[in-house]
């Protein structure tokens, strides 16, 4: 176990004990270590623990800076996606990725828009505003794909309610088309982030 994974495990253990002060210290240090060299995220082995640690960062809101929160949400998304790629049948991994959307939606939307629609537009341009609204639908499709991946997820009342809301929202479109679009969006966002890490970037 390397230092990054050790910090994540210590943070998760402290969080499980509801020792939030200690957990926060480990989380801040974990963020600092990876932020200094974003490409380190490509070489870890325990993506599950790292992903959960980043979810804890979102829960605790360890910063008020939106740029930092976006980095946290990005890393949480990437790590939870890696766990799914390694074991797609585990519903807990899907649950974690849905939680990333739930906790980091506002900041993650910037990343999804950049990955799917480009990030060089004028923020006040009509095309930017249109892309912003389209991205909200893109994210709903991504969540819908995950919600439909396992019936076990729907024992959670929040997830069952979300699935019902999205079914109503997309009622005029084939369910399978929405799911396939969501899966494709996941692939594109994951690749976008991976390329950033390869270039040792996280912003």
Task: Determine, yes or no, domain membership for 37.
Answer: yes
From first to last of its 203 residues, what are the pLDDT tens digits of the chain? 578 999 999 999 999 999 999 999 999 999 999 999 999 999 999 999 999 999 999 999 999 999 999 999 999 999 999 999 999 989 999 999 999 999 999 999 999 999 998 865 555 555 666 788 899 999 999 999 999 999 999 999 989 999 999 999 999 999 999 999 999 999 999 999 999 999 999 87
Angle at 64 between CA 117 and CA 126, to 5 degrees: 30
Task: Determine, yes or no, domain membership for 203.
Answer: no
Output helix, strand, coil percentages for the chain, rounded to the nearest 5: 80, 0, 20
Q: Write down the pLDDT at residue 132.
A: 83
The total number of structural domains that make up the chain: 1
What domain range is 51 assigned to?
Answer: 3-198
Residue 180, classed as helix, strand or coil, is helix
Task: Determine, yes or no, domain membership for 88.
Answer: yes
* CA dist., res. 27 & res. 68, Å (int): 13
Q: Write down the pLDDT at residue 41.
A: 95
């Amino acid at each position: 176990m390397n230092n990054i994974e050790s910090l994540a495990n210590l943070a998760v253990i402290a969080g499980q004990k509801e020792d939030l002060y200690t957990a926060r210290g480990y989380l801040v240090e974990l963020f600092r270590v990876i932020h200094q060299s974003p490409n380190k995220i490509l070489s870890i082995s325990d993506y599950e623990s790292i992903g959960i640690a980043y979810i804890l960062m979102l829960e605790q809101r360890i910063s008020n800076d939106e740029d930092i929160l976006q980095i946290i949400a990005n890393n949480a998304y990437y790590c939870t996606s890696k766990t799914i790629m390694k074991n797609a049948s585990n519903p807990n991994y899907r649950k974690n990725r849905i939680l990333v959307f739930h906790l980091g939606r506002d900041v993650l939307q910037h990343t999804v828009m950049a990955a799917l629609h480009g990030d060089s537009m004028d923020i006040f341009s009509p095309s930017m505003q249109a892309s912003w609204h389209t991205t909200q639908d893109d994210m709903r499709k991504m969540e819908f794909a995950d919600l439909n991946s396992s019936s076990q997820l729907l024992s959670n009342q929040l997830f069952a309610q979300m699935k019902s809301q999205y079914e109503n929202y997309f009622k005029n479109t084939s369910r399978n088309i929405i799911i396939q679009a969501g899966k494709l969006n996941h692939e594109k966002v994951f690749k976008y982030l991976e390329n950033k890490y390869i270039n040792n970037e996280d912003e």
